[in-house]
């Protein structure tokens, strides 16, 4: 039960951080704010997976990984933003958004893993 509570608290914190960041970065048109959250969250996921493992802190994984970063990154918001672009007839932007989100998030996760492993 404590894992569920830590995920819930972390999720509330992550969602609140995402809300604040999206509010600060929100622009009309291309959904750069959600893209930024997903890329940053992927980088932090890669970094924390290694750091928590190397420092013997697996008990923080539910709070930080599933909770904070799970609430911070937003696949459902990504899907909604993509569909909105498609419905607006901005198929090129929708394709760019999907490709950039997936590729940049994978690169960010890889960079986070690499950075953490280089210091571990």
Alpha helices in 1-120, H assignment, sequence order = 2-25, 32-54, 61, 70-72, 75-87, 91-119
- Is 73 marked as binding a ligand? yes
- Is 70 marked as binding a ligand? yes
Q: How far is CA 36 from CA 1, 8, 68, 69, 113, in A?
A: 32, 23, 16, 13, 18
> Cα(115)–Cα(74) distance, rounded to whole angstroms?
24
Give the residue ranges of the annotated binding site.
Answer: 70, 73
Instruction: Please give the annotated binding residues for Na(+), written as ranges.
Output: 70, 73
């Amino acid at each position: 039960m404590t894992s569920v509570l830590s995920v819930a608290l972390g999720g509330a914190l992550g969602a609140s951080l995402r809300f604040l960041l999206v509010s600060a970065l929100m622009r009309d048109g291309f959904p750069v704010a959600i893209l930024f959250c997903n890329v940053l969250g992927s980088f932090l996921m890669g970094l924390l997976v290694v750091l928590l493992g190397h420092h013997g802190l697996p008990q923080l994984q539910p709070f930080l990984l599933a909770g904070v970063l799970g609430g911070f990154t937003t696949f459902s918001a990504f899907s909604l933003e993509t569909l909105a672009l498609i419905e607006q007839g901005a198929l090129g932007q929708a394709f760019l958004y999907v490709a950039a989100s997936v590729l940049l998030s994978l690169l960010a996760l890889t960079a986070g893993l690499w950075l953490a492993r280089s210091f571990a």
